Structure 1
Amino acid sequence: MTSKTAAQAARFVTGSTLRHVIVMAGTGAIGLMAVFAVDLANLFYVSMLGDTSVAAAVGFAGTINFFHVAISIGMTIGVSATVARLLGAGQSAKARQVATASLAFMVLVTVVLSAATLLLLEPILDVLGATGEARELTRQFLYITAPTLPLLAIGMCTSALMRSTGDARRAMTVTLTAAIVTAILDPILIFGLHLGLTGAAISNVIARVALAWVGLYGVARANRLIGRFQARRAWDDVRPVLKIALPAVLTNLATPVASAYVTHAMARFGPAAIAGQATIDRITPVAFALIYALTGAVGPIVAQNLGAGRADRIRETILNSLGFVLATVALAWLVLAFAQDGLIRAFSAQGVTAEIISTFCSWLVASYAFVGCLFVANATFNNLDRPLFSTIFNWGRTTLGTVPFVAAGIKHGPIGVLVGQAVGSAIFGLIAMIVAWRVVRRLPMVDCARLARRHADEPAAASVSVPGAAAGNTVAPEVQ
């Protein structure tokens, strides 16, 4: 990549930060919304089969997959942050080396994790409280889909790499392609060939193949950010990424742990409660795709401006992101409040399932304003080398912000479980955002400038450090 190309790649260091946030979040949301909408469609199709055990199986499998996605997100955060900083500092050759080695490392890790999931599937299902037919269906679904989790990781990593260069359109295309493939195959396999949940699993596999292929093409051919893998240098290239990725993975695992705990709590109220939870778990990513995409949008903008020594633009980006979160939640709340009856009918929800959907759409959806604050705070901590804060707040929300509140709410049924989870998330999201803003306010421009010079003068292995970061601190991020 020429120096001119590298300069063009660092496109976030000039222009309106609000426009960058909107464009990056908007294009990212289109891809995410497409994927999550198809995931929602999966649940819609299987719910038409009229068996709550099938819907519950989708919920249990989704909780397990959530762990893999969280790990992959944590690793892509490290890759994206490191590559974006190198591009911001004008070090395009190092950026390519890091991207290539990191992608290979992600594949290796996810292959091991996929194998471990299948080997330990029975005790995992025991922990989640899966029983009876729902347990057997979950097992069948994961036996088909779990081996393709490395393909999902490739798609996520390549999409993040394209976002780190500012190529939001191609990053969106990666997830959009997988969504289109799934949307076409789902009704054919589930109903046309009468394969039911197995058809949904096969559709999932084929979509992941498309996801990985389009992602690799975009990164390697269009952005030329993937080069020849050099085994001798691989560890040196991956090491600075792991300094960010390992704490990010640890932080991101907090969310699926909390989700697993809530799923376990819901399981005692039967398949109908699990089906209700599974439904809102698939409504929220569609309704809040902009917020989920925002973490991926904020990271590269902050990282490039950090590499360029622009503390003022970092502060401006965070403020714009917060305003974006509040506007998005307000709009989603309004839409879901009016659409709840249609959603209940669409998913053939009755009894407890319908009550859960109605309560969420009427009131609990507002809690996502605080979830959005936590996402923005995580992106800030991750890219300013304050990952310890992300770890503290995410795991704080998972433990102190989930267990006691859900334990208190469980006495009032499945609705009480959801209310308890929402209250705990609100408390930790608000505190995290306050701390993140204090970190940004104290970020002196001179330190940013010093970091930019270090990126230009020091080897890649040292280019991840930020002045003032505590020894051993590393990153944590977004999400999704």
Structure 2
Amino acid sequence: MSIRINLLEDDIQKTLVKMTTPMMLGIVSLMLFNLADLYFVSRLGTDALAALGFTFPVCFMVISLAIGLGIGTSAILARLLGRGESDEAQSLATDNLLAIAVMVVVISGLLQLLIDPVFYAMGARDALMPFIQAYMRVWLIGSVFLVINMVCNACMRATGDTKTPALMMAGSSLLNFILDPLFIFGVGPIEGMGIQGAAIASVIAWSLTTCVALYLLFVHKRLLVLQPFVFSRWKRHAYAVMKIALPASLSNMMTPVAQAVLTYIVAHHGPEAVAAFGVGNRIESLALLVCLALSMTLPPFISQNIGAGHVERVRSAYRMVIGFSLFWQFLVFILLIFVAEDVATLFSGNNTVQSLIVLWIFIVPFGFAFQAITFLTASSFNALHKPFMAMKISLARLFLFTVPFAWLGSQLFGLQGMFIALVVSNLCVAVLAWLSMSAHLRAS
């Protein structure tokens, strides 16, 4: 099993750049995956676009579970690889993927039963429910492929290989882009299925790329092995991963819970506001893509170096990425202001929705630099095997600051007040996160 980049000895800045660049391109592809769904569904009308906006928190909850499971898997594998324990890493990765597949099938089945009560509780109108049901029933069936795919990619990143996961993301996005118009609008013998077609296209793309990922892990990476099921070994591996993955998953899953509450708050301002807010959520992911890539490449670097006892390299890497994220995200904010009207026109033909998208762009992205500091710090704590510190930061951000501030801003100053409150809450949490990590690294 070869590690393409030496995380323990190579220059820190060059190593992070080499790892982050392909991941950045991969995440661009992943975000374009979501934007393609958004663009094609927007052609179906405001109701379909608003329905997709309602589905975002629930879909992101499943994605957050996958992210947390990937964090736990990557942290343990990278530390084992840093110690030179490749046989144990192979056995753990195999047991872990099997356990995760079973877990996601059970969770998906439960969510199928809760579609109506969940979305009614979020404030969805009766007119939107047929769109939501058509999309979610298919999306949940295919979610097992999405989660397994993301965990497979995390396994690859733990070895220092970020190029292969990036190519997997790009392939999935390309497939989705090709299949979306075919299944949404129909062509030839394929009948258009509207918003449900978007979900079908996603599931096909995930299933095909998941098969490729499993093949690569087994044949090329040799991180999957044929081994008998031994309960004591499976239990030991599950405990090692889940003690990091469960807190990480919980903190990540709280994000869509808070997002659902924010959507509920926005829903009081009308379906146009929900549609604009849904567009904003997708723009946010794309605007944060560089720092999101860093949050995926920094943890393997930290875990391997901690496993090898190179603490000073960890301190230097953390300081470096925080400084870069501040500079980069403010640059992105300026760029978004210049293209705000073009972006609004691209995603909606409704004048009210367009004006609300522009309002969102002029306010919310100012806080992205602070948001980046928060999730980079949380991912660093997970890599240091301090998942409860990461969870505390995430829960404080969502439920001590973001939700209360957003509700208060909405009540006092309307939608604009809510958007400003999101920026203020991100600033407050970023300061707390930075102080917490700085204190921990000084004590290490």
TM-score bracket, normalised by the shorter chain, equals over 0.9
Give 1:241 deviation, angstroms: 0.8
Give 1:79 deviation, angstroms: 0.5
Residues 47-196 of structure 1: pairs in structure 2 closer than 5 A: 47-49=42-44, 51-193=45-187, 194-196=192-194
Query: Aligned residue for 1:206?
Result: 204
1:227 to 198, 209, 225: 225
Deviates more, 1:336-345 or 1:18-27: 18-27
Query: Does the CA contact (< 8 Å) of 2:80 and 2:88 recur in 1?
Result: yes
- Any idea what the Cα deviations from partners look like across 1:432-467, whole Å, max 9, x if unmatched? 122112212221xxxxxxxxxxxxxxxxxxxxxxxx
Deviates more, 1:234-243 or 1:345-354: 345-354
- Counterpart of 2:385 in 1: which secondary structure? coil
- Any idea what the Cα deviations from partners look like across 1:365-404, whole Å, max 9, x if unmatched? 1201011101111122112222222111111111111232
Give TM-score, length-normalised by structure 1: 0.88
**In 1, Cα distance between the equivalents of 2:280 and 2:160?**
32
Query: Aligned residue for 1:370?
Result: 370
Alignment size in residue pairs: 437
**In 1, Cα distance between the equivalents of 2:77 and 2:168?**
19
**In 2, Cα distance between the equivalents of 1:200 and 1:158?**
24
- Any idea what the Cα deviations from partners look like across 1:96-137, whole Å, max 9, x if unmatched? 111111111111111111001001112111221111222220
Give 1:363 deviation, angstroms: 3.0
**In 2, Cα distance between the equivalents of 1:361 and 1:168?**
31
Residues 276-355 of structure 1: pairs in structure 2 closer than 5 A: 276-355=276-355
Query: Does the CA contact (< 8 Å) of 1:254 and 1:398 recur in 2?
Result: yes
**In 2, Cα distance between the equivalents of 1:48 and 1:30?**
27
Query: Aligned residue for 2:25?
Result: 30
1:111 is matched by which residue type in structure 2? V
Query: Does the CA contact (< 8 Å) of 2:288 and 2:372 recur in 1?
Result: no
- Any idea what the Cα deviations from partners look like across 1:330-368, whole Å, max 9, x if unmatched? 331122111111111111254442233212322321201
Query: Does the CA contact (< 8 Å) of 1:262 and 1:417 recur in 2?
Result: no
**In 2, Cα distance between the equivalents of 1:365 and 1:201?**
28
Identity of aligned residues (%): 30
**In 1, Cα distance between the equivalents of 2:205 and 2:331?**
31
Query: Aligned residue for 1:464?
Result: none
**In 2, Cα distance between the equivalents of 1:292 and 1:352?**
31
- Counterpart of 1:34 in 2: which secondary structure? helix
**In 1, Cα distance between the equivalents of 2:338 and 2:5?**
42
- Counterpart of 1:188 in 2: which secondary structure? helix
2:128 is matched by which residue type in structure 1? A
Query: Aligned residue for 1:250?
Result: 250
- Any idea what the Cα deviations from partners look like across 1:183-224, whole Å, max 9, x if unmatched? 111122223433321221111111111231122122222211
1:425 is matched by which residue type in structure 2? N
- Any idea what the Cα deviations from partners look like across 1:249-269, whole Å, max 9, x if unmatched? 122122112111101111122
Residues 37-48 of structure 1: pairs in structure 2 closer than 5 A: 37-48=32-43
2:388 is aligned with 1:394:
no
**In 1, Cα distance between the equivalents of 2:128 and 2:24?**
32
**In 2, Cα distance between the equivalents of 1:182 and 1:304?**
34
Give TM-score, length-normalised by structure 2: 0.95
Deviates more, 1:179-188 or 1:406-415: 406-415
**C-alpha spacing 1:9/1:308, structure 2 compared with 1 (3 Å):** farther
- Counterpart of 1:13 in 2: which secondary structure? coil
**In 1, Cα distance between the equivalents of 2:129 and 2:267?**
12
**C-alpha spacing 1:305/1:10, structure 2 compared with 1 (3 Å):** farther
Query: Does the CA contact (< 8 Å) of 1:288 and 1:328 recur in 2?
Result: no
Give 1:164 deviation, angstroms: 0.5
**In 2, Cα distance between the equivalents of 1:364 and 1:349?**
22
**C-alpha spacing 1:349/1:317, structure 2 compared with 1 (3 Å):** farther
- Any idea what the Cα deviations from partners look like across 1:231-277, whole Å, max 9, x if unmatched? 21211222111111111112212211211110111112221111001
Query: Does the CA contact (< 8 Å) of 1:273 and 1:353 recur in 2?
Result: yes
1:428 is matched by which residue type in structure 2? V
Deviates more, 1:349-358 or 1:10-19: 349-358
Query: Does the CA contact (< 8 Å) of 2:363 and 2:419 recur in 1?
Result: no
1:44 is matched by which residue type in structure 2? Y
Query: Does the CA contact (< 8 Å) of 1:185 and 1:203 recur in 2?
Result: yes
Query: Does the CA contact (< 8 Å) of 2:254 and 2:398 recur in 1?
Result: yes
1:215 is matched by which residue type in structure 2? A
Structure 1's consecutive aligned runs of 4 or more residues displaced over 4 angstroms after TM superposition are none
**In 2, Cα distance between the equivalents of 1:327 and 1:425?**
16
Residues 368-447 of structure 1: pairs in structure 2 closer than 5 A: 368-411=368-411, 412-443=413-444
1:57 is matched by which residue type in structure 2? A
Give 1:281 deviation, angstroms: 0.8
Query: Does the CA contact (< 8 Å) of 1:406 and 1:421 recur in 2?
Result: yes
Deviates more, 1:194-203 or 1:351-360: 351-360
2:14 is aligned with 1:19:
yes
Give 1:229 deviation, angstroms: 4.1
**In 1, Cα distance between the equivalents of 2:262 and 2:228?**
44
Query: Does the CA contact (< 8 Å) of 1:152 and 1:211 recur in 2?
Result: no
- Counterpart of 2:131 in 1: which secondary structure? helix
Query: Does the CA contact (< 8 Å) of 1:101 and 1:229 recur in 2?
Result: no
Give 1:10 deviation, angstroms: 7.2
